[in-house]
A = this chain, B = another copy of it.
């Protein structure tokens, strides 16, 4: 049996890490909101704020990774506890990459703002996908903090909806571009913005998959979606 005292110290370490992860996730979420708002308004201050936020995320990534290393070195966990900490480290990387995508969105927004030929694209689908991506990211981190596999498996299934919005937006963009070829170049900026949002959804999915990995010891990345659905029906 594990030493009670050591074990509760370990729990305290985990709880601190979990708080830090949720904090970092909160920052990524607000980066997504601000990036979408910047795309809507082309507000220069907002763009600068996202770029600044990204630098804070980079620092947080290094700090949390350092804390994870320290916990491993200090507590020498095995089996599931170790898997949890290694998954937390990959989780931090996913958050930082999701933050990179928010940065890419404002960089593309800057280009669109400068382009006189930029089409007046209705960004309804982009907005919907951004909200969905932000939502799944939040839920994925929450599932990670609570190690809730049921919630995690639902998130993996929900990512499909974000991919569908992405495809719908690409079809719409193609129509715009065909009608007025001058819009092709700025259209690609919109395309990469939509792609960045789809990627944020992928990062959320990665986090959700790691929950299943920690708990079940199997890597759900490579279980077909249909199998997950069958498992959900059975459970």
* Residues of chain A having any CB pair with chain B under 8 Å: 55, 58-59, 61-62, 65, 68-69, 72-73, 76-79, 82-83, 86, 89-90, 93, 170, 174, 177-178, 181-182, 184-185, 188, 191, 195, 219, 221-222
Contact = CB atoms under 8 A, between A and B. Distances in A.
A27 to B, nearest CB: 15
A221 B89 CA distance: 16
A170 B187 CA distance: 12
B184 A177 contact: yes
B174 A178 contact: no
Contacts of A219: 58, 61-62, 65
Contacts of A82: 69, 72-73
Contacts of A77: 73
Nearest to A83: B69
Contact of A90 (B69, B90, B181, B222): B90
B221 A58 contact: yes
Contacts of A195: 195
Contact of A76 (B69, B76, B177): B76
B89 A86 contact: yes
Contacts of A78: 73
A16 B210 CA distance: 25
Contact of A86 (B61, B62, B86, B191): B86
Contacts of A178: 181-182, 184
Contacts of A222: 55, 58-59, 62
Nearest to A199: B199
8 contacts: A55-B222, A58-B221, A61-B219, A69-B82, A86-B86, A86-B89, A177-B177, A177-B181
A51 to B, nearest CB: 13
Contacts of A59: 222
Nearest to A185: B174
A181 B78 CA distance: 58
Contacts of A83: 69
B188 A170 contact: yes
A181 B181 CA distance: 7
Contacts of A65: 86, 219
